[in-house]
Amino acid sequence: MKNLQPSIPPTEKKTKSELQAAVERLAPFHHAIDLPYGLSTYVPTASRQDRERTRMQNLIDHAWPSILSACGGSLAGKRVLDVACNCGGFSVHAARAGASYVLGIDIDPHYIEQANLVKEAVDLHNLDFQQLDLMELDPSKHGAFDLVLFFGILYHLENPVLSLKRISALASNVLAVDTTLMKVPIINRILDRWPMWHMRRVAGVDSAASNITTSRWRPEEFCQFSPNSRAVISLLEYSGFTDIERLKPTVTGLEKRYYNGRRATFIAIKNRGSYPGIRLAHRSR
Ligand SMILES: C[S@@+](CC[C@H](N)C(=O)[O-])C[C@H]1O[C@@H](n2cnc3c(N)ncnc32)[C@H](O)[C@@H]1O
């Protein structure tokens, strides 16, 4: 029988030394991603902060089992959106976990260049990266996503409420938010009863900055807002999510900020009917 498949030329694979040179040229990377030939995006000599080594594994250990469970136990056949994907570590993880399609978007072209190098090296065809401001995401163009990852971005936004409403319009079921929280010494427990946002003016960065692996899109002074836990829950409810849980850091070896309350991960669900077995701590409707 005649083969009707179009003949697709095999992708030119980089040799080990070519891949290593490309990784070194684009380093530092914010996520340590395993690459072919036993290579990694983590280049110790180029690293600016230890978080580049720990960030990805930390969040996977801490949050991934709960994310999977909120998605009904598996990502098979699911569409995943990774907002502010940076070099794409979580997108790759979702694609490797069997998602049917993963879209990672980031505002900064350098991070998308890193992500595309990773995509080419790991050879995953269910994965796409686009340079995009999250405010440009549009359900009529990009479709709906079963799972949206919203990691390390909420507290960077000048318009967090509007941004989350936009994101919610693309999220059909599960949203996972990992964020820095507002923390006021001693009285934090009292303040946590009310939804509050702490405003901070943050200096722009230049190429010598130690946080260049995540902040290079921000050359000018920036205004950002860190929420307390109640504000995150309230914002998620306002944006249309009905079942919300702040994950407890139950595993050992996470960055200190997850244990001292400066950082937390939330899982939020809407259209809960898809997974009636799921029970999250906070149920608004
Ligand atoms: C702290 S990093 C978080 C990276 C990754 N999600 C993680 O949690 O490890 C923040 C990322 O947000 C991206 N970013 C900032 N503003 C954005 C926007 N408006 N739209 C899309 N990406 C944005 C930055 O380029 C950067 O890669």
C-alpha 285 – ligand 1 centre gap (Å)? 31
163 lines ligand 1 (CB under 6 A): no
C-alpha 143 – ligand 1 centre gap (Å)? 21
How far apart, in whole angstroms, are the C-alpha atoms of residue 141 and residue 126? 18
Number of residues that make up the chain: 285
Model pLDDT for residues 254-266, shown as the tens digit of each residue: 999 999 999 999 9
Which residues touch 56 (CB under 8 Å, ≥6 apart)? 31, 32, 33, 89, 90, 93
Q: What is the mean pLDDT of residues 161-173?
A: 97
Whole-number average pLDDT of the chain: 91
107 lines ligand 1 (CB under 6 A): yes
153 lines ligand 1 (CB under 6 A): yes
Atom of ligand 1 nearest to the CA of 151: 8
- What are the chain's domains? 16-283 (3.40.50.150)
Q: What are phi and psi of 182, to 5 degrees?
A: -65, 135
How far apart, in whole angstroms, are the C-alpha atoms of residue 125 and residue 111? 19
- Quickly state the pLDDT bin for 192 (edges 50, 70, 90): confident
How far apart, in whole angstroms, are the C-alpha atoms of residue 181 and residue 58? 17
